[in-house]
């Protein structure tokens, strides 16, 4: 088990990658997202890219810190049918203070299906949840 970092300096992790493999299920299909096709839905593909980026840094987050998604700039390049397996790879490419940038790529057995960037921010979990509580109070 890797040692958890004690600071928020993630610069040393630039170039680190993580991979996720996922078999497209009927619940992942675009037909569940106001589209009639039984192919991997773009929102699900983006979510897979985001969770893969989270894996890159998860063992290095300081205690009490979490990461939040900020942005996606990606292209869904090809359809993937239900039943097909996709592999997503995320690489940490830049660190600017508490903001992290990842290059994300997805492939199925035939082609690159996703290429783009994903941004995340490092935040204090307790402060974030306090703000959330304030926003949901009634």
Average pLDDT (41-66) is 96
The more confident residue out of 10 and 112 is 112
Strands 85-96 and 99-107: antiparallel
Q: What is the pTM of this model?
A: 0.90
Is pLDDT above 60 for 61? yes
Percent of the chain with pLDDT over 70: 93
pLDDT at 54 over 90: yes
Across the chain, where does the E strand assignment appear? 17-23, 65-76, 85-96, 99-107, 112-124
Q: CA 90, 99, 50: angle at the middle one, nearest 5?
A: 30
Report the C-alpha gap between 28 and 87 in whole angstroms: 15
C-beta neighbour count of 26 within 10 angstroms: 10
Q: Provide the residue count of the chain.
A: 138
């Amino acid at each position: 088990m890797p040692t958890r970092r004690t600071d928020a300096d993630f610069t040393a992790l630039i170039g680190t990658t993580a991979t996720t493999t996922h078999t497209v299920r009927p619940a992942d299909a675009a037909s569940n997202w106001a589209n009639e096709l039984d192919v991997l839905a773009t929102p699900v593909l983006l979510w897979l890219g985001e969770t893969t980026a989270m894996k890159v840094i998860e063992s290095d987050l300081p205690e009490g810190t979490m990461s939040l998604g900020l942005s996606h700039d990606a292209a869904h390049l090809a359809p993937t049918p239900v039943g097909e397996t996709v592999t997503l790879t995320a690489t940490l490419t830049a660190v600017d203070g508490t903001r992290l940038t990842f290059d994300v790529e997805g492939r199925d057995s035939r082609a690159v299906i996703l290429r783009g960037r994903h941004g995340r921010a490092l935040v204090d979990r307790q402060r974030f949840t306090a703000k959330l509580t304030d926003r949901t109070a009634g």
